[in-house]
Amino acid sequence: MSEGFLPLTRQDMLDRGLDQLDFVYIIGDAYVDHPSFGHAIISRILESHGYTVGIISQPDWKDDESITIYGKPRLAFLISAGNMDSMVNHYYVSKKKRKVDAYTPGGVMGKRPDYATIVYGNLIRHTYKDVPVIIGGIEASLRRLAHYDYWSNSFKHSVLLDSQADMISYGMGEHSIVEIADALASGMDIRDITYIPGTVYKTKDISGITGFTDEKLNGILLPSYEEMKKDPVFYAKSFGIQYENTDPFTGRILAEPYEHGVYVVQNPPAMPLTTQEMDDVYALPYMRTFHPSYKERGGVPAIKEIKFSLISNRGCFGGCSFCALTFHQGRIVQTRSHESILSEAKEMTKDPEFKGYIHDVGGPTANFRQPSCEKQLKAGVCKNKQCLFPEPCHNLKADHKDYLSLLRKLRSLPGVKKVFIRSGIRFDYLLADPDDTFFKELVTYHVSGQLKVAPEHISDAVLSKMGKPENRVYERFVKKYHKINEKLGKKQYLVPYLMSSHPGSTLKEAIELAEYLRDLGYMPEQVQDFYPTPSTVSTVMYYTGIDPRNGEKVYVCRNPHEKAMQRALIQYRDPENYDLVSEALHKAGRTDLIGFDKKCLIPPRKIKHNNNSRRHK
């Protein structure tokens, strides 16, 4: 047995004096016992509550015996596809296969199946007919109700049905998994565990469900799967309802009807963790690295990005349309205490591989260290209003004092040379803070030559669909950033992340962005083409052509060739993109941008150089 790690083999289980485990946890990732990995948190929490857990990492889904190594668990099988949706893990937005899987030993691709949650669930059901199966992790969480699947270009059932599982623990899962375990341990049948926040279950009778019989709670019956599959307008309406019910304080029970009288029922989200609960989660006895059995295969590449990084928060009130955080972690920001983070940092400095550099202190958004306003922890977030979009709410409390204090403490630790911030900085929130102290210290101490930010686009028409602030806000941030650098005598740059072909972007807006980059004198090395992933507002727009927040129609670029043109326009200086840029400009009636004038994007024709005529000295 590898001392300190949970069982990974039958022999590990036997070495612990166990002949049966309470839970068998099947994961699509390698076993990494670090709190940046969902399986590590869930398994350690169960262990802290007295339950035994064994890990089966990346089982051979073509072999029934691969999930029988521990025998039948006493309480349930748990399934997680991994830290990423298996389809995002496997494919680029072009649907071409990725060559490296950072969550697999040696970076080897192909160790988990496509739609891993479904495959693993059916693998268990094929062997164990009567053992409860509970699915979780980001793949199950974001596919918990009917959804559009980009890779198959189809409208899919709730993953609960296709996986043959009994229940989904959605979101981060710390609260719900303990309640589920306690209920099962008390002898309850999995079919009777219908009351736990943060869970989804299936039933044929909703008449007795609190919320559908109580006028005060008033559950919501969503459009049926068949209605949504037949007419995407119904899906846009359904998602709009779901979007308004992602808050634990105000969220209502949702029921989605299927054929044969089956309902998939979603309970409201679990309550956010308190600071003490967050601290407790991160104080569990993680080994903080990958299982030693992977060492000879080169280890697990993903550990490099997080080994010397610190998670300080979770949740995000940024509300970007293309992000699924609202559905997974929620909009209420939850934080760890300074003491918890500093304790972890001190342990980090003892690692022989630590060179003095803390790579990140953050989370989904680095500079969110508190709920956006005081009422959220009592009444929840607003249903029909965003905290930062289209402008910061008048109730927003933009204050970086706590984060600033934390960073100062980390910088002063013995053995720490530099503390970087690599999580995204929300620049509109930064500008909303009347005190510039954090901004100045960010530039002084926490930037390594360049700061990565995410304006995503410059067209206000596209930004409004993205849920991002108007371009004038970004321009104000840029001016302030350069001004602070100049005052400090530093030459540090901004690296803006940009996205092509997001819903709402036509060739007109793509050309607008190209002209902006021309005037800036900047051509990005990388461009992210919009990637439709489950449970985002932007994906619903992509599939339905409708903004689910207001029912408005949205232009959607789905044609691969037009997508290539929009992407090429952002990198118009690249000679390989010449033909695509030229075609786009002709198609949009913007041939005025073809010529030799300084305002032009490309010359009227390719100029070929005769390399043979050059002499090399």
Quick check: 321 pLDDT over 90? yes
Percent of the chain with pLDDT over 70: 96
Mean pLDDT, range 260-287, rounded to an integer = 97
Quick check: 36 pLDDT over 50? yes
Quick check: 604 pLDDT over 50? yes
CA distance 88 to 127: 28
Mean pLDDT, range 1-29, rounded to an integer = 93
User: Which amino acid type is present at position 4?
Assistant: G
Mean pLDDT, range 602-612, rounded to an integer = 65
527 band by pLDDT with thresholds 50, 70 and 90: confident
- pTM greater than the 0.85 cutoff: yes
455 band by pLDDT with thresholds 50, 70 and 90: very high
The end-to-end CA distance of the chain, in Å, is 64
Three-state DSSP class for residue 97:
strand
605 band by pLDDT with thresholds 50, 70 and 90: confident
Quick check: 252 pLDDT over 70? yes
Quick check: 369 pLDDT over 70? yes
User: Which amino acid type is present at position 371?
Assistant: P
611 band by pLDDT with thresholds 50, 70 and 90: very low
Mean pLDDT, range 366-394, rounded to an integer = 92
CA distance 581 to 426: 32
Quick check: 1 pLDDT over 80? no
> CB 93: neighbour CB atoms within 10 A?
17
Q: How high is the pLDDT of residue 383?
A: 87
Mean pLDDT, range 430-437, rounded to an integer = 97
Percent of the chain with pLDDT over 90: 91
Q: How high is the pLDDT of residue 118?
A: 98
Q: How high is the pLDDT of residue 607?
A: 54
Q: How high is the pLDDT of residue 215?
A: 53
Q: How high is the pLDDT of residue 3?
A: 72
Q: How high is the pLDDT of residue 213?
A: 55
Q: HSE on the CB side for 181, CA within 13 Å? A: 24
* Pick from 376, 436, 364, 365: nearest CA to 400: 436
Quick check: 87 pLDDT over 70? yes
What H or E segment, with its residue span, contains residue 480?
A: helix 471-488
526 band by pLDDT with thresholds 50, 70 and 90: confident
What H or E segment, with its residue span, contains residue 410?
A: helix 401-411
CA distance 456 to 503: 12
519 band by pLDDT with thresholds 50, 70 and 90: very high
CA distance 280 to 274: 10
Three-state DSSP class for residue 447:
coil
Three-state DSSP class for residue 17:
coil
CA distance 5 to 289: 10
Three-state DSSP class for residue 234:
helix
Kindly list the structural domains of the chain, giving each domain's residue range(s) and its CATH number in brackets, ordered by start. 10-199 (3.40.50.2300), 491-617 (no CATH)
Three-state DSSP class for residue 508:
helix
Q: pLDDT tens, 487-505?
A: 999 999 999 999 999 999 9
* Pick from 135, 107, 45, 120: nearest CA to 290: 107
377 band by pLDDT with thresholds 50, 70 and 90: confident
Mean pLDDT, range 45-54, rounded to an integer = 98
Q: HSE on the CB side for 109, CA within 13 Å? A: 12
Question: Regarding predicted confidence, which is higher, 611 or 56?
Answer: 56
Q: What is the DSSP letter of 258?
A: -
Quick check: 50 pLDDT over 50? yes
Q: pLDDT tens, 540-566?
A: 999 999 999 999 999 999 999 999 999
- What angle separates helix 401-411 from helix 338-349, to the nearest 10 degrees? 20
384 band by pLDDT with thresholds 50, 70 and 90: confident
Cβ neighbors of 560 (< 8 A, separation 6 or more) are 94
Q: How high is the pLDDT of residue 210?
A: 58
Mean pLDDT, range 178-183, rounded to an integer = 98
Q: How high is the pLDDT of residue 564?
A: 96
524 band by pLDDT with thresholds 50, 70 and 90: confident
Radius of gyration of the chain (CA): 25
Mean pLDDT, range 583-599, rounded to an integer = 96
What is the DSSP track for 113-163? Answer: -TTHHHHHHHHHHHH-SSS-EEEEHHHHHHTSSSEEETTTTEEE--HHHHT
Three-state DSSP class for residue 207:
coil
Q: What is the DSSP letter of 7?
A: P
Question: Regarding predicted confidence, which is higher, 524 or 236?
Answer: 236
Chain mean pLDDT for the chain = 94
Q: How high is the pLDDT of residue 606?
A: 61
Q: How high is the pLDDT of residue 247?
A: 95
Q: How high is the pLDDT of residue 2?
A: 61
Mean pLDDT, range 50-76, rounded to an integer = 97
525 band by pLDDT with thresholds 50, 70 and 90: confident
Question: Do residues 384 and 246 make contact, with C-beta atoms less than 8 angstroms apart?
Answer: no
Report residue 488: phi and psi, to 5°.
Answer: -85, -5
